[in-house]
């Protein structure tokens, strides 16, 4: 793992970033304000600071969203019920990873791909 760093740990950590074999098969997701989008699956490690990433895309939201009157235009009552299918798509590419780069890109590593659009933001 990345020294078991979490979002808040990565911002305040002076721990040197290290890639290990445990990262292979994990997913990278971009966390923006309240939305989250999949980047890809780590399929390999190249050297001490580079990973090979298979891009992952999310399909259409399979949940019928329930919107009621409220706010500016409406309030989605089942915002957290979103369900997506994920597809590995495109060429594997190489990316250098470090604490700084992960924070700058707002990337987080997890066990599964995540796609979340905040309808209520």
Number of domains in the chain: 1
Residue 52 covered by a domain: yes
In a domain, 115, yes or no: no
What pTM did the predictor assign? 0.81
> Does residue 19 sit within a domain?
yes
34: left (phi > 0), else alpha (psi -120 to 50), else beta? alpha
Query: Any idea what the Cα angle at residue 38 is, between residues 34 and 41, rounded to 5°?
Result: 145
Return averaged pLDDT per consecutive 10 residues of the chain, 121 residues in all. Answer: 40 62 95 95 94 97 93 89 96 92 92 94 77
Q: Note whether residue 70 is domain-resident.
A: yes
Residue 118 covered by a domain: no
Domain for residue 36, yes or no?
yes
Q: What is the pLDDT of residue 57?
A: 97
Distance CA 45, CA 38 (A): 19
Residue 60: which domain range? 7-110
120 falls within a domain: no
pLDDT at 64: 94
Q: Specify if 78 maps to a domain.
A: yes
């Amino acid at each position: 793992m990345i020294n078991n760093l979490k979002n808040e740990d990565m911002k305040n950590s002076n721990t040197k970033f290290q890639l290990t074999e445990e990262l292979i098969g994990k997913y990278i997701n971009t966390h923006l304000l309240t939305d989250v989008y999949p980047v890809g699956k780590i399929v390999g490690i190249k050297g001490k600071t580079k990973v090979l990433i298979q891009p992952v895309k999310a399909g259409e939201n399979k949940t019928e969203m329930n919107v009621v009157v409220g706010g500016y235009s409406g309030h989605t009552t089942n915002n957290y019920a979103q369900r997506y299918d994920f597809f590995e798509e495109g060429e594997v590419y190489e990316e250098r990873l470090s604490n700084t780069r992960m924070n700058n890109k707002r990337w987080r590593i997890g066990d599964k791909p995540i796609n979340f659009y905040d309808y209520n933001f």
